[in-house]
Structure 1
Amino acid sequence: MANTHTSTSRYAQEFGAASSETSAARPRKGAAGRTAGVIRQEKLAPLSERLRKLGLVSDWDFVLHLPLRYEDETRITPIGRLNPGEVQQAQGTVERSGFVATPRGQQFSAILSDGTGRLQLRFIHYYPSIQSQLQPGKTVRVFGEPREAFGGGLEIVHPRIKPPVSRTDNLPQALTPIYPLGENIQQKWLRKRIDRAMLDLQVEDLVPVAVTERLGLPRLRESLEYLHNPPADASADALRDRTDPHWERLKFDELLAQQISLGETRRLARKAVALVLAPRADANLIVRFREHLPFALTGAQERVWKEIASDLARPEPMHRLVQGDVGSGKTVVAALAALRAVEAGYQAALMAPTEILAEQHFKKLVDWLTPLGIRTAWLTGRLKAAEKRRALEEIASGEARIVVGTHALIQDGVRFENLGLAIVDEQHRFGVAQRLALRTNGAAGVESESGETVEADANAAKPHLLMLSATPIPRTLAMSYLADLDVSVINELPPGRTPVTTKTIRIERKNEVVALVRAVVAEGRQAYWVCPLIEESEALDLTPAVQAAEELQRALPDLKVALLHGAMSAPEKEAVMTAFASGETDLLVATTVIEVGVDVPNATLMVIEHAERFGLAQLHQLRGRVGRGAARSACLLLYGGELSELGRERLKIIRETTDGFEIARRDLQLRGPGEFLGERQSGMPLLRFANLETDGALLEAARREAERWLREDRDRALAHARRWFSAKAEFLAA
């Protein structure tokens, strides 16, 4: 039997006959007798409020409220030639009608015939007027999706009913648009309101004719009129897939407005003054640092470092994102940037989202920089009072030239002597305000001798900002949402890294995996076992990390098993990680706290339990904890139960490739842009019509034309951007 919920939803949203001030409610069942299926009336919020929820305020909003799909009411199909499963239109005379008792309450039913066949019309929910509309002997036109009826023949549940058409020239000449609707806002009313907006609004085409002609795109008003009322011979596939030239024009305009917004944001940011971190003639810290490194930089690292060094030497703030796959060596590039700041006489700060990741950075920098005589401070919220006081004093006095920490770096009381460079790792895990807070911390204000805070000069030179991300961002996403940044890519892994073999295994074979852990440790290697939860959850049938650690220790009594999770104290985490890094622990059972930052080359096996519960980016990051040395490594993905389509696709992708950029591209298809950007997308011009995966060529063109337009006619370009984004407070003019 067909899905009546879907049919009912369409009826209530698209074909209802309620006034604009009432709403269709679900009917009461049972004792209500003949009115059991009658749709009841309820008081609604004012129409203007309901429209505002849809973003419909101005005429321009209505004009841009484009159809979700189209229906073809330009022809009538004889009842005898109706095809089940296809939305069609028929016309006939009502043979009989009336109420029918069913186990779920009363329904209204009618039989329609036209000489070629009979069609049953069935209404589970209805208004009282249905009886007069479908009186025996009346001729009506119905529109809907026929399906096989119980007992034979065809039926339409909740068809749309209209008066009959006597002549074919009275049929519509265009496809019927079906718009997104709000609470009790009807299609018929909305169509008329959009038509009125099209008549009232002077749709000025701000985009130069030369641009649209160069791209082979129609003019704006032509495209809007076409999309709201496509001709009967319009390509249904092109309209559905949004590949019609008129759809292409709207998508281009949207992308163009977004690129103009981001270009203007970039221009305004570059008007700021920055500290010039140019190398001094007597500076040799970077030379000495590179001489003592136990490895040579890859070609990609060298290229990215040159890009950063060039930025740091300019009197405008660097705003650069360095993205690189797991293990590509972003930390050493960040260390070079920090050393350039120190060489120039300034401080550098590195902020990471978790203590484990921050501590990994801190230990590396201490190992690398202490021989150079550089003091590196450590600041986290869990420091003891005396330790924190000492760290704050070192930062404020400038004794600490480099500072590493978590969110504690942007808390009240942290004052830098002269911060020249702010580095943010895993940038998508921080909000825009948090990143800016670190950048402005050194100049946000200073305390006078009387203890009052004196605001810094708004025109004072600002520190440079370097952001790092181990989550590769697809090129189209970077072009669209990160266009106000300079993006560098480390697309080369250091030599000696071995590819990680990835396999999926049903959780019922867990004993075989435990035996493999024993064999790996017998060869002198170590292993990770990752679980999605810390403790029991009634909602999810998943093995928590605590329970898994106990079970694995019982199954492997000769091995040293340790547990690591986010609820542990900082000293506990440090002790566990130190023991694992030194080889004292054979198997580390953990939650996703080890997702980033953990570097133990001797660990060659990663087991992820209930891998179907993890996102693609998380799986890729966790897999990156192994394969960090020359030994052969493997990642085993244990999955249980019936996999969802999305879960199956994620495991297939992670099994097929270790290329982080390809994984990111596929992840964008599955999830959309939000999770790549973290909190960055807050306030960004988001896209309604364009698709970053399929509209890459349009995005390229929009970026190119936005740069040209801002250069040649900035005021008109900004007017175009405001038209698209200002109503939703998404236009970034500052």
Structure 2
Amino acid sequence: MPPVTLSSTLEEVVGAKTAATLRRAFGMTTVGELLAHYPRRYARRGELTPIASLPVGEQVTIVAEVRSVSVRPMRGRPGTLLEVVISDGAGTVNLTFFNQQWRQADLRVGRQGIFSGKVGEFKQQKQFAHPDYELFDDEGEARQSAEARQRQPIPIYPATSTVSSWQLHKTIVAVLSRVTEIPDPLPEALRRAVGLLPALTAVRHLHTPDDIEQIDPARHTLRMHEAFVLQAALLQQRQEVRALAATARPAGELLERFDASLPFARTPDQVTVGDRIEADLQADWPMNRLVQGEVGSGKTLVALRAMLQVAQSGGQSALIAPTEVLAAQHLRSIARMLGPRLAPELMPTLLTGQLPAAERRKAALRVASGQARIVVGTHALLSSTTTFADLGLVVVDEQHRFGVEQRETLRAKGNAPHVLVLTATPIPRTVAMTVFGDLDVSTIRTLPAGRAGIETFVAPLAEKPGWFARVWERITEEVALGRQAFVVCAAIDAAAKEPDPDAPSAPAVEGETERTRWGVVQVAEMLARDESYRDVRVEVLHGKMPADQKDAVMQAFARGEIDVLVATTVVEVGVDVPNASTMVILEADRFGVSQLHQLRGRVGRGGLPGLCLLVTEAAVGTMARSRVQAVARTSDGFELAEVDLELRGEGDVLGDAQSGARSSLRLLRVVADADLIARARAAAERVLAEDPTLASHPGLADAIDRRVGQQERAALAKN
């Protein structure tokens, strides 16, 4: 029989039928993928408890004999119920299985075995629902096995309706018995220095522990493996990007003229980040940089300076934004910053899908001919009909709203163009290392001088329902002072439960109100009936409005022709109205921490003090209420990013923003394992510095190939 390795196919090891089932259920095709399907938790087999004294609600193990088996139709719904009565000689307990008639072949009267499960109770009779069991031919063997395995934890795996945790475990045990070697991805010196187990031992102890004490060392070893392999893959990708030849874009008089025309001094962070980008653009390899900064910290200014540097040599820059509203606003902001002298020279051009056909053709022609050296658009930039004369810089705004395929499509329209990714959602250090480890990360922390700041308060309607009326009074007080206000809703129409296609979806979490009560439609109707709003100019904005109408509303609001804008989270990014002083977020518990912080950043942008009221019915002590209170407690977006990560866990933070190797962490947890990730990155940097091709580290090279296959590697390369 040939040796089984991590690269062996499941079909050759477990047979075609089981392999097909595992492929359909989990997408796994190799032994390595099966063994990397780690237990989610472990159950205790419990004491060998006599049936007469089984404790309800606890996990127990008993040795018993099948006394009777019956099948009957379920009442009130289709399907069958298999009922098995087992006895230990002194008492009896029922086993119930729904729609699993096939178990009759195993559970025949007289068969004995070990049964593990959680004790339930139905009609005063103790029962196990869908217990795990193992049957034996000999009672003495069953009792001896039960006593030996009493301390042995039961691995519980992520399972599906077609493959149970029990079946997975049996398959993994069978496969592991044939695996004699697992190459260690860690250099031996590093493994010994940090006191980790050999790879095969760690995998065996995680899947088939003899006792609970074996699990933590195994898990720690495999977490280090995951961190090390992931960081090495990201660093390899950085090496590959730097091996590409890019067109150097030296700075020149365009940038000098622009800087001289600025009516303000750049902040220290803007200068530092700008200098790094200026140097990147003159390098022989493509820039691949992420710039993160608070709302209003000047990321657009930094990006525009990069565009001017590229334009100096005749190159073009493309800025892709997630919405029509934001793209149009970016164009107006860029034209305003360039001023009447530079704007005609660079011909900033808008290209979106909603442009009238004639305008779109003209815009596409300016882009294709190279006349437009700055192009701003939405997904229309990705169209096969959109071509560039010399695309030298790709700027991606709000990167989490775009997939890697879309970014690659745009980047492929140039010859190894430089890439600048912008985000106003602060990224915790560990997430930056884990998700964006192949990008150089720059941070703009300081805000421009003259900002009056924002005060944030929670309006807790669960305890103080009278505050709801006060919220609306507070808006009229601001309007009376000549200021403007946003009212943000979680839906367009609460009655229709209509999502906004332009808005990020709100998270469903423990503690949030059961259903949306206040949509844009409901708030607009309420204010139309309110006598105190008779002279207040109220308009609505949401993603289902035509693009020209959305843009018209935003421009009217910016000109001060609208007092109160009732909107969905379509206003989350890019909306800049210095006269807007107040933001009310209804049902704030329906939004994430970062989203609330982004929304809040729409006010207090000029010299006016900002006021943000977070209206919520979430009860004290729930996670939803904790999020809202965290936002009210601090205006530091970087502190909130850490809070958000702790509250939600990295599953939501990582989400599907990235593809392949970075989208699903197996054992690694970016909060709990921050120090381990940092150590792994430092170790991976040392290994790659000494051995760039990993010729002397075959275990690591194999692990990267398995963990980051062709599809994932392509996704990494596109990022």
Same fold (TM over 0.5): yes
Asked whether the 8 Å contact 2:63–2:143 carries over to 1, the reply is no
Q: Which residue of 1 aligns with 2:434?
A: 480
What is the CA deviation profile of residues 222-266 of structure 1, one whole-angstrom value per residue up to 9, with x for unaligned ones?
A: 11221222223x33xx84xxxx12111112112222222222222
1:186 Cα offset (Å): 6.0
Q: Is 1:143 aligned with 2:105?
A: no
Asked whether the 8 Å contact 2:487–2:586 carries over to 1, the reply is yes
Q: Which residue of 1 aligns with 2:12?
A: none
Which residue of the other structure, out of 458, 461, 484, is the alignment partner of 1:526? 484
Distance in 2, matches of 1:132 and 1:190, equals 19
- In structure 1, stretches of 5+ residues that fail to align are 1-44, 444-460
Which residue of the other structure, out of 583, 588, 610, is the alignment partner of 1:633? 610
Q: How does 1:168-207 map to 2 (within 5 A)?
A: 170=145, 171-173=147-149, 174-182=152-160, 185=163, 190-201=168-179, 202-207=181-186
1:525 Cα offset (Å): 1.5
1:187 Cα offset (Å): 6.0
2:116 match: secondary structure: strand
Q: Residue 446 of structure 2 aligns to which amino acid in structure 1?
A: E
Distance in 2, matches of 1:197 and 1:176, equals 17
Which residue of the other structure, out of 654, 672, 678, is the alignment partner of 1:700? 678
1:470 Cα offset (Å): 1.0
Query: Are residues 218 and 570 of structure 1, via their aligned partners in 2, closer, same or farther at CA, if it must alter by over 3 Å?
Result: same
Query: Are residues 157 and 194 of structure 1, via their aligned partners in 2, closer, same or farther at CA, if it must alter by over 3 Å?
Result: closer
Query: Are residues 255 and 608 of structure 1, via their aligned partners in 2, closer, same or farther at CA, if it must alter by over 3 Å?
Result: same
Q: Which residue of 1 aligns with 2:21?
A: 50
1:733 Cα offset (Å): 8.0
Q: Which residue of 2 aligns with 1:29?
A: none
1:212 match: secondary structure: helix
Query: Are residues 139 and 687 of structure 1, via their aligned partners in 2, closer, same or farther at CA, if it must alter by over 3 Å?
Result: closer
2:249 match: secondary structure: coil
Which residue of the other structure, out of 352, 359, 368, is the alignment partner of 1:387? 359
Which residue of the other structure, out of 333, 338, 357, is the alignment partner of 2:326? 357
Q: Which residue of 1 aligns with 2:227?
A: 255
1:512 Cα offset (Å): 2.2
Distance in 1, matches of 2:327 and 2:538, equals 24
Q: Which residue of 2 aligns with 1:656?
A: 633
Q: Is 1:467 aligned with 2:421?
A: yes
Query: Are residues 503 and 405 of structure 1, via their aligned partners in 2, closer, same or farther at CA, if it must alter by over 3 Å?
Result: same
Q: Residue 705 of structure 2 aligns to which amino acid in structure 1?
A: R
Distance in 2, matches of 1:647 and 1:538, equals 23
What is the CA deviation profile of residues 16-69 of structure 1, one whole-angstrom value per residue up to 9, with x for unaligned ones?
A: xxxxxxxxxxxxxxxxxxxxxxxxxxxxx9433112133443333333333333
Report the more deviating stretch, 349-358 or 214-223. Answer: 349-358
Q: Which residue of 2 aligns with 1:399?
A: 371
Query: Are residues 169 and 631 of structure 1, via their aligned partners in 2, closer, same or farther at CA, if it must alter by over 3 Å?
Result: same
Q: Is 1:325 aligned with 2:294?
A: yes
1:149 Cα offset (Å): 6.2
Query: Are residues 696 and 557 of structure 1, via their aligned partners in 2, closer, same or farther at CA, if it must alter by over 3 Å?
Result: same
1:671 Cα offset (Å): 4.9
Q: Which residue of 2 aligns with 1:429?
A: 401
Q: Which residue of 2 aligns with 1:226?
A: 205
Q: Is 1:513 aligned with 2:439?
A: no
Q: Is 1:273 aligned with 2:273?
A: no
Q: How does 1:530-679 map to 2 (within 5 A)?
A: 530-535=488-493, 537-539=495-497, 542-555=517-530, 556-639=533-616, 645-669=622-646, 671=648
1:198 Cα offset (Å): 2.3
Report the more deviating stretch, 580-589 or 212-221. Answer: 580-589
Asked whether the 8 Å contact 1:533–1:544 carries over to 2, the reply is yes
1:357 Cα offset (Å): 1.5
Asked whether the 8 Å contact 2:459–2:615 carries over to 1, the reply is yes
What is the CA deviation profile of residues 475-500 of structure 1, one whole-angstrom value per residue up to 9, with x for unaligned ones?
A: 21111121111111112222232133
Asked whether the 8 Å contact 1:73–1:176 carries over to 2, the reply is yes
Query: Are residues 680 and 531 of structure 1, via their aligned partners in 2, closer, same or farther at CA, if it must alter by over 3 Å?
Result: closer
Query: Are residues 85 and 188 of structure 1, via their aligned partners in 2, closer, same or farther at CA, if it must alter by over 3 Å?
Result: closer
Distance in 1, matches of 2:81 and 2:559, equals 74
1:134 Cα offset (Å): 7.9
Report the more deviating stretch, 100-109 or 564-573. Answer: 100-109
1:675 Cα offset (Å): 6.0
Query: Are residues 618 and 387 of structure 1, via their aligned partners in 2, closer, same or farther at CA, if it must alter by over 3 Å?
Result: same
Query: Are residues 408 and 160 of structure 1, via their aligned partners in 2, closer, same or farther at CA, if it must alter by over 3 Å?
Result: closer
Q: Which residue of 2 aligns with 1:446?
A: none
1:373 match: secondary structure: helix
Asked whether the 8 Å contact 1:392–1:415 carries over to 2, the reply is yes
1:679 Cα offset (Å): 5.9
> Root-mean-square deviation (CA), in Å?
3.5
2:48 match: secondary structure: coil
Q: Residue 520 of structure 1 aligns to which amino acid in structure 2?
A: E
1:314 Cα offset (Å): 0.5
Q: Which residue of 2 aligns with 1:451?
A: none
Distance in 1, matches of 2:702 and 2:678, equals 21
1:577 Cα offset (Å): 2.3
Identity %: 39
Q: Residue 328 of structure 2 aligns to which amino acid in structure 1?
A: E
Query: Are residues 584 and 733 of structure 1, via their aligned partners in 2, closer, same or farther at CA, if it must alter by over 3 Å?
Result: closer
Asked whether the 8 Å contact 2:458–2:616 carries over to 1, the reply is no
Asked whether the 8 Å contact 1:326–1:621 carries over to 2, the reply is yes
Distance in 2, matches of 1:559 and 1:657, equals 31
Distance in 1, matches of 2:486 and 2:164, equals 57
Query: Are residues 561 and 108 of structure 1, via their aligned partners in 2, closer, same or farther at CA, if it must alter by over 3 Å?
Result: closer
Distance in 1, matches of 2:649 and 2:326, equals 27
Distance in 2, matches of 1:70 and 1:87, equals 11
1:409 Cα offset (Å): 2.8
1:73 Cα offset (Å): 4.5
Asked whether the 8 Å contact 2:45–2:59 carries over to 1, the reply is no
1:468 Cα offset (Å): 0.7
Distance in 2, matches of 1:142 and 1:273, equals 64
TM-score (norm 1): 0.80
Distance in 1, matches of 2:305 and 2:132, equals 69
1:421 Cα offset (Å): 2.0
1:143 match: secondary structure: strand
Distance in 2, matches of 1:106 and 1:438, equals 56
Q: Which residue of 2 aligns with 1:452?
A: none
What is the CA deviation profile of residues 61-91 of structure 1, one whole-angstrom value per residue up to 9, with x for unaligned ones?
A: 3333333333444852345664433212234
What count of residue pairs does the alignment treat as equivalent? 658
Distance in 2, matches of 1:405 and 1:437, equals 14
Q: Residue 430 of structure 2 aligns to which amino acid in structure 1?
A: T
Query: Are residues 434 and 178 of structure 1, via their aligned partners in 2, closer, same or farther at CA, if it must alter by over 3 Å?
Result: closer
Q: Residue 504 of structure 1 aligns to which amino acid in structure 2?
A: A
Distance in 2, matches of 1:619 and 1:323, equals 17
Q: Which residue of 1 aligns with 2:192?
A: 213
1:606 Cα offset (Å): 0.6
Q: Is 1:61 aligned with 2:44?
A: no
1:148 Cα offset (Å): 5.6
Asked whether the 8 Å contact 1:548–1:589 carries over to 2, the reply is yes
Distance in 1, matches of 2:196 and 2:584, equals 52
2:192 match: secondary structure: helix
Asked whether the 8 Å contact 2:251–2:309 carries over to 1, the reply is yes
What is the CA deviation profile of residues 170-219 of structure 1, one whole-angstrom value per residue up to 9, with x for unaligned ones?
A: 43354343444455546666445433422332323242210111222111
Q: Which residue of 2 aligns with 1:28?
A: none
Asked whether the 8 Å contact 1:481–1:684 carries over to 2, the reply is no
Q: Residue 426 of structure 1 aligns to which amino acid in structure 2?
A: E
